[in-house]
Amino acid sequence: MRVFNFAAGPATLPLAVLEQVRDELTDWRGTGASVMEVSHRSKAFVAAAQEAEALLRELLAVPAGYQVLFMQGGARAQFAAIPLNLARADSTVDYLNTGIWSKLALAEARRFVATVNIAADEAASNYTSVPAAGALALSTGAAYVHYTPNETIGGVEFPYVPDSAGAPLVADMSSTLLSRPLAVSSFGLIYAGAQKNLGPAGLTLVIVRADLTGKARPGTPAVWDYQAVADDHSMLNTPPTFAWYVAGLVLRWLKAQGGLSVMGERNRAKAQLLYAAIDASGFYANPVAEKCRSWMNVPFTLADPALDAPFLAEARAAGLANLEGHRSVGGMRASLYNAMPLAGVAALVGFMKEFERRRG
Ligand code: PMP
């Protein structure tokens, strides 16, 4: 039985995509082989790769002058690739610290850049809010400003795009990309691990303004040099072909759903349904300031932590899987990425009410 899968990533994929993968697995588009068994330079694969890029550009309305790169190493490799490409060893860079992923990103930057300025730190709110738009302590001459639009563990999402005062704005969109329309032109660089809204793990997307490439510092490995990757159309080394192919199918599915405005409306409705249920109960709680609650990752706690284990077990028995919070924070977390239908959230809310009635 297929469950409603609330995992934070790798995460649920659209059923229609999985069925197509199954149907064409052993003979992919007349090649007589699976997509995993053909050359990344074959005509069939290059066509699929180009289609995925074209769909991504169309869905996000990526302006001309941006490179779209299909890389590996996850978002965490980008934590290092960004300073290597965009800053020198003696540069100053600005980081907004809004939670666990921001903190890991800035810790990695410290290995490559002399001055990592914390332009905002939400420690005082215990990482349950984002800085006020006017409250950023930006450095003059920063090589870039980095932030995490959606903190996957904390469930905190920026309701605005920060003003980086002319410095390139760099965004870790791992857990929010493709969840709604986006003004790509506001950013110097956007990156995301694929394994939430885009496809299987192993693929990492980078969208970078072309004037920011070609400046990698000496010593940067070629596979992490954006210009070198762009010059070889993301085939400098053998790309994760299966993940790239599945991402292409997910992008086709997104287009068929009506694109990112439709997804945005659906995602807003899903999140509202769950937050309303949490707020209406005295049993469940979400600590995040209302204006910056994530549409994608909803952490919540039960009034009595001793009920966590029965909650998870009974939820799983009801077909609601992977609701445990991140190992570093505990509690619960429901991730509501694009492929989670409203029916899944409705089923979760129904289960939560019923569990509270019986055990609360
Ligand atoms: N940034 C964010 C916001 C994430 O959610 C994650 C993974 N959950 C990462 C970075 C790390 O991604 P990866 O495992 O692909 O390196």
CATH number at residue 275: 3.90.1150.10
Tell me: do 253 and 113 sit in the same domain.
yes
- The angle at the Cα of 48, spanning 261 to 34, to the nearest 5 degrees, equals 125
Q: Where are the alpha helices (DSSP H) in 6-42?
A: 15-23
> Which residue puts its alpha carbon closest to atom 12 of ligand 1?
75
Nearest in space to 200 (alpha carbons), one of 249, 259, 234: 249
Per-residue pLDDT, 295: 98
Q: What band does 198 get if pLDDT is binned at 50, 70 and 90? A: very high
Tell me: do 23 and 97 sit in the same domain.
yes
Tell me: do 208 and 72 sit in the same domain.
yes
Last residue of a domain, one of 257, 284, 307: 257
193 lines ligand 1 (CB under 6 A): yes
9 lines ligand 1 (CB under 6 A): yes
Report if residue 232 sits inside a domain: yes
Tell me: do 277 and 333 sit in the same domain.
yes
Cβ atoms of 301 and 326 closer than 8 Å: no
| 132 CA from centroid of ligand 1 (Å) | 24
Tell me: do 184 and 44 sit in the same domain.
yes
Report if residue 3 sits inside a domain: no
Per-residue pLDDT, 328: 86
Last residue of a domain, one of 232, 257, 282: 257
What's the whole-number mean pLDDT along residues 291-315? 97
Q: Is the pLDDT of residue 152 over 90?
A: yes
280-289 tens-digit pLDDT: 999 999 999 9
Report if residue 7 sits inside a domain: no
Tell me: do 62 and 159 sit in the same domain.
yes
Tell me: do 58 and 187 sit in the same domain.
yes
Tell me: do 34 and 112 sit in the same domain.
yes
- Model pTM score: 0.98
Tell me: do 253 and 263 sit in the same domain.
no
Per-residue pLDDT, 141: 96
DSSP-assigned letter for residue 265: H
326 lines ligand 1 (CB under 6 A): no
In angstroms, rounded to a whole number, what is the distance separating the alpha carbons of residues 8 and 163?
29
Report the nearest atom of ligand 1 relative to the CA of 78: 16
Q: Is the pLDDT of residue 360 over 90?
A: no
127-140 tens-digit pLDDT: 999 999 999 999 99
Tell me: do 249 and 283 sit in the same domain.
no
175 lines ligand 1 (CB under 6 A): yes
Task: Provide the terminal-to-terminal Cα distance of the chain, rounded to the nearest Å.
Answer: 29
Per-residue pLDDT, 287: 95
Mutate-to-test residue for ligand 1 from 76, 150, 153, 327, highest number of ligand atoms within 8 A of CB: 76
Q: Is the pLDDT of residue 145 over 90?
A: yes
Q: Is the pLDDT of residue 327 over 90?
A: no
CATH code of 60's domain: 3.40.640.10
Residue range(s) defining the domain that contains residue 351: 258-359
| 75 CA from centroid of ligand 1 (Å) | 5
What's the whole-number mean pLDDT along residues 43-55? 98
Q: What band does 1 get if pLDDT is binned at 50, 70 and 90? A: confident
Report the nearest atom of ligand 1 relative to the CA of 150: 3
Per-residue pLDDT, 345: 98
In angstroms, rounded to a whole number, what is the distance separating the alpha carbons of residues 54 and 335?
28
* pLDDT above 70: percentage of residues in the chain: 100
Per-residue pLDDT, 329: 87
Per-residue pLDDT, 41: 97
Per-residue pLDDT, 125: 95
User: How many domains is the chain partitioned into structurally?
Assistant: 2
Per-residue pLDDT, 238: 98
Tell me: do 219 and 354 sit in the same domain.
no
What's the whole-number mean pLDDT along residues 319-332? 94
- What mean pLDDT, rounded, does the chain reach? 97
Report the nearest atom of ligand 1 relative to the CA of 151: 3
Per-residue pLDDT, 245: 98
| 8 CA from centroid of ligand 1 (Å) | 10
101 lines ligand 1 (CB under 6 A): yes
